[in-house]
A and B are shown apart, each in its own frame.
Chain A
Amino acid sequence: MLSHSALTPIHVVFHKLQKRLSILLAILGDWAAFIGVVLILGLGTSWYMIDVGTPLTTERQGPWVSWTSAGRADADPYTRAHFARLGTLQLTAEITLTYLAYTDDEGRRLHSSCDYAVEGSEPGTSWWSLTVFDDGGALIANPAQRYAFTSQSIGLRPDGTYLVTLARDARPGNWLPTGGAGRLALVFTTLDPTAPLLTSAADERRPLPHIRRVQCR
């Protein structure tokens, strides 16, 4: 006696196989989409909040970004992860604030092929410094051995403002050499034990220097 399957025409078997395969593919497709969405949403949002930050964790003024809970014992997990990845020694944001800029005021990437004018005014009585790095956080070697200006070493104008020129070649005044470093990062640090560093009102924000592109080669 022949079995049922032996009597089934070959095209019916193929049809059944095709149907089962399509169901399997649909299930696999659903799971692939599920895993893809979970990875993109889960890891993508985590990366964004750790690397870029949000208004919940950062203070932004023009191109300057500061992590408001940096170094604090009650820092949020995003801030902890950000500085752990960066590998920097973070002093508490209760006393010192560090602002990092990778772009000029118009959002263009800072680069050693361009000259920049960094202009600002003395931020009250607090100590401050302005340092130029390459975008990996390394100092830029230069014959003048000049890497930073502080409130104690900068030359001020009579009205209390200052101008720092970032350029490859020597410039008069407060010149910070950028050599052939490629992409640049500027760090502005303020240290003030007496005044609250973070204020909620926008008009009470501490004055940060403007970064203006002068020319590019």
Chain B
Amino acid sequence: MNLRDKLKHANWQLIIAAPIAAAILHICATLAAPNLTAASAYSRLAPALPVNKMQLLHAITPGAEPLPFLAPDARYAMCRFDATNGPVNVSVTLPPDQGWMLAVISQQGDNVYAAASTPDRATPISLVLMPSEDYFLGVTPEARGIARGAQPPVSIAATYGIIVVRGPSKGHAYRGEVEANLRKARCSGRTF
């Protein structure tokens, strides 16, 4: 059977269907991959973190890494937030230094908010995390006749996730200072 006969007898329906089916499988496999993983970062960290409370993590050492490829170049304070029962207030002041960062990471691993420090000045950050479906902050203080004394907090729609505050590990001499700054970070829930 020569090539012409082979082409004549080939099942063209299947040949055309193959790349289409492969494309569908490719899309399904790619979209399903995050849900098929044994342990995402959130599911590994969540059991060890109290809800709506900031916790300073131990220094990262061999055998005690909470996550793969988590470098010991920084100390971490984390808070597992759950805004289903009410907004979660977050307040952190990043010191005037390099390498400090605050990130609000959703259950899916998205950074819904992130801010880094600058060496020139301290960076005070105040956030209110709202459930995605209740993204309404009510009447403003000004509307209620109350003067606003400070910068209003930034409102973010996020129901579940982890707040990460990272401070650079600069050696033993700075350890106490870095830990003290991380301990000042706050994360607390409140009712509507």
A interface residues (Cβ-Cβ under 8 A, vs B): 30-31, 33-34, 37-39, 41-43, 45-47, 49-50, 71-73, 75, 77-78, 80-81, 83-92, 94-96, 100, 125-127, 129, 131, 133, 136-141, 145, 147-148, 150-153, 185, 187, 189, 191-194
**12 CB-based A-B contacts, threshold 8 Å:** A37-B22, A41-B25, A43-B25, A80-B108, A84-B37, A89-B45, A137-B70, A139-B72, A150-B170, A152-B99, A187-B69, A191-B99
**Among B23, B34, B114, B171, contact of A84 (Cβ-Cβ < 8 Å):** B34
- Looking at the assembled complex, report how far the CB atom of B97 sits from the nearest CB atom of chain A, in whole angstroms: 9
- Looking at the assembled complex, report how far the CB atom of A77 sits from the nearest CB atom of chain B, in whole angstroms: 5
**A interface footprint on B35-71 (CB within 8 Å = 1, 0 otherwise):** 0011111001100000000000000111101011111
Q: Please, how many angstroms separate the alpha-carbon atoms of A43 and B29 in the complex?
A: 7
Asked if A34 and B18 make an inter-chain contact with CB atoms under 8 angstroms apart, the answer reads yes
**Among B11, B14, B30, B108, contact of A46 (Cβ-Cβ < 8 Å):** B30
Asked if B111 and A89 make an inter-chain contact with CB atoms under 8 angstroms apart, the answer reads no
**A-B CB proximity, top 4 nearest:** A137-B68, A42-B25, A41-B22, A193-B116
Verify if B90 is at the interface (C-beta below 8 Å from A). no
* Chain A residue contacts of B103, Cβ below 8 A: 71, 91-92
Verify if B83 is at the interface (C-beta below 8 Å from A). no
B interface residues (Cβ-Cβ under 8 A, vs A): 11, 14, 17-19, 21-26, 29-31, 33-34, 37-41, 44-45, 60-63, 65, 67-74, 98-99, 101, 103, 105-106, 108-112, 114-119, 162, 164, 166, 168-171
* Chain A residue contacts of B17, Cβ below 8 A: 34
Asked if B33 and A84 make an inter-chain contact with CB atoms under 8 angstroms apart, the answer reads yes
Query: Are A127 and B37 also in contact (CB < 8 A) when A94-B114, A140-B62, A150-B170 are?
Result: no
Asked if B73 and A42 make an inter-chain contact with CB atoms under 8 angstroms apart, the answer reads no
Asked if A89 and B41 make an inter-chain contact with CB atoms under 8 angstroms apart, the answer reads yes
* Chain B residue contacts of A139, Cβ below 8 A: 60-62, 65, 72
Q: Give 5 A-B pairs besides A88-B67, A139-B65, A191-B116 with Cβ atoms closer than 8 angstroms.
A: A42-B22, A73-B111, A87-B68, A147-B71, A151-B98
Asked if B25 and A39 make an inter-chain contact with CB atoms under 8 angstroms apart, the answer reads yes
* Chain A residue contacts of B166, Cβ below 8 A: 91
Number of CB contacts from chain A to chain B under 8 A: 189
Asked if A81 and B30 make an inter-chain contact with CB atoms under 8 angstroms apart, the answer reads yes
Q: Which residue of A lies closest to B112 (CB)?
A: A73
Asked if B109 and A80 make an inter-chain contact with CB atoms under 8 angstroms apart, the answer reads yes
Q: Which residue of B lies closest to A152 (CB)?
A: B170
* Chain B residue contacts of A138, Cβ below 8 A: 62-63, 65, 68
Q: Please, how many angstroms separate the alpha-carbon atoms of A3 and B73 in the complex?
A: 89
* Chain A residue contacts of B164, Cβ below 8 A: 89, 91
Q: Please, how many angstroms separate the alpha-carbon atoms of A153 and B99 in the complex?
A: 12
Q: Please, how many angstroms separate the alpha-carbon atoms of A129 and B117 in the complex?
A: 16
* Chain A residue contacts of B18, Cβ below 8 A: 34, 37-38, 41
Q: Please, how many angstroms separate the alpha-carbon atoms of A34 and B25 in the complex?
A: 13
Q: Please, how many angstroms separate the alpha-carbon atoms of A36 and B140 in the complex?
A: 62
Query: Are A193 and B73 also in contact (CB < 8 A) when A42-B24, A87-B67, A89-B105 are?
Result: no
Asked if B73 and A129 make an inter-chain contact with CB atoms under 8 angstroms apart, the answer reads yes
Q: Which residue of B lies closest to A126 (CB)?
A: B98
